[in-house]
Amino acid sequence: MTSPLDELKRSLEHEHLYKPPSDSTPASHDDATLLRFLRARKFDPIKAHKQFAATEAWRSKNNVLQLYATFDQDEFESAKRFYPRWTGRRDKHGIPVFVFRLASLTAPLQKELNAIPEERRYQRIVALWEFMSRFTLPFCSALPRPSLSLDVSTTSPSPSPLPSPSPSSSPPPLPPPITATTSIIDLGGISLGTMWSLRRHLQQASELATAHYPETLHTIAVVNAPAFFPTVWNWIKVWFDEGTRNKVHVLGADPGPALLQLMDADSLPQVYGGALPFTFEDEPVVDIPARELLGSNKIPRGPVVFLEGKVTRPEGYTEPQYIQNGT
């Protein structure tokens, strides 16, 4: 019996949207990417084909590869202030942990954001999603996986429990690639008016992910949710498909115990009940295995990808030229 993945590959190859591997070249798209589209469409190859084809057309129309490769380094780093940021750590599945603290988008930052033309804001989101899908996820896939054979309590605070890691007595020798993120969304200290003013900003990023980067969200933990969150959720839930909505978990006043089911204390920021000295404004705090793989204590600035076990620049990237005074 033909698998949904094989059916999808065959139909995409027929329309020249997929090239299988040869003796000298890899496949045009890896299985992990194709499986994301299948999961998003409940393993219906026809529906997955339709979404994949639409994404390939979108990538071509927006010249995504060139956009990312030539994105200004300083602007790229500046754009990270407005969107979820990788902490540099991973959960117990090896999935990268992101944090988004909306109160950090202060009035001056919102003014700066609103001054950017909408098309360029959209391009910034695309560049950051490319960074996530082409660097962070494959990079984390190459790191050692934390042990999942842990005795994890099933008790979680209301109103919504987080999924617990599944114990495995015989882990596969080659673990599956990491294809999604765990995100902590911090709504502490934010007003209803601020949420309303940020709705378009948040909607752009959410809809782009759903349409063209499907199944890249593993778990979303909402912390410090204000009393008006049910009102906000009614606004924003239409931005997500049903599968994504089911991954959103609203935690109680003390999120630490629930979050520690997902990640070790040294991977959870202190402000949420862990031991990691990280705030939303910080650069990723990478651990020892990540530093060894990077060959550095820091992730390179600007567009970067992880290919064939190495951190490198995307094809077409040009190092910025700086003019010194007096030269």
State yes or no: pLDDT of 326 exceeds 80.
no
| Residue 265 and residue 274 in contact, taking contact as beta carbons nearer than 8 Å | yes
| More confident: 58 or 160 | 58
> 262 — phi, psi (to 5°)?
-90, -30
Other CB atoms within a 10 A radius of the CB of residue 158 amount to 8
| Arithmetic mean of pLDDT, 110-117 | 94
| Arithmetic mean of pLDDT, 91-102 | 96
State yes or no: pLDDT of 228 exceeds 60.
yes
Question: How much is the pLDDT for 148?
Answer: 44
State yes or no: pLDDT of 109 exceeds 70.
yes
Question: How much is the pLDDT for 240?
Answer: 84
Tell me how far apart the alpha carbons of residues 1 and 285 are, in angstroms, rounded to a whole number: 46
User: Mean pLDDT for the chain?
Assistant: 89
Question: How much is the pLDDT for 322?
Answer: 61
State yes or no: pLDDT of 49 exceeds 90.
yes
Question: How much is the pLDDT for 242?
Answer: 84
Q: Of the candidates 261, 262, 259, which has an alpha carbon nearest to the alpha carbon of residue 270?
A: 259
| Arithmetic mean of pLDDT, 134-157 | 68
Q: Of the candidates 238, 304, 312, which has an alpha carbon nearest to the alpha carbon of residue 80?
A: 304
Using CB atoms within 10 Å of the CB of residue 148, give its burial: 0 to 12 exposed, 13 to 18 middle, 19+ buried. Answer: middle
Token reading at 279: 């705030």
Measured CA to CA in angstroms, residue 163 lies from 3, 244, 257 at distances of 27, 14, 13
> 152 — phi, psi (to 5°)?
-100, 125
State CA 157 to chain mean position distance.
25
Question: How much is the pLDDT for 238?
Answer: 87
Helix H or strand E encompassing 45: helix 45-61
> What predicted TM-score, i.e. pTM, was given to this entire model?
0.88
State yes or no: pLDDT of 321 exceeds 90.
no
| Residue 255 and residue 223 in contact, taking contact as beta carbons nearer than 8 Å | yes
Range of lowest pLDDT (124-128, 137-141, 222-226, 251-255): 251-255
The pLDDT tens digits for 9-23 are: 999 999 999 999 999
State yes or no: pLDDT of 327 exceeds 50.
no
The pLDDT tens digits for 152-194 are: 333 333 345 566 555 555 555 568 899 999 999 999 999 999 8
Range of lowest pLDDT (136-150, 217-231, 242-256, 257-271): 136-150
DSSP annotation of 297 reads S
Question: Quick check: helix, strand or coil at residue 98?
Answer: strand
Question: How much is the pLDDT for 320?
Answer: 79
Question: How much is the pLDDT for 74?
Answer: 96
- Confidence tier at 252 by pLDDT (50, 70, 90): confident
Range of lowest pLDDT (81-85, 190-194, 215-219, 279-283): 190-194
| Residue 223 and residue 66 in contact, taking contact as beta carbons nearer than 8 Å | no
Other CB atoms within a 10 A radius of the CB of residue 248 amount to 18
- Confidence tier at 213 by pLDDT (50, 70, 90): very high
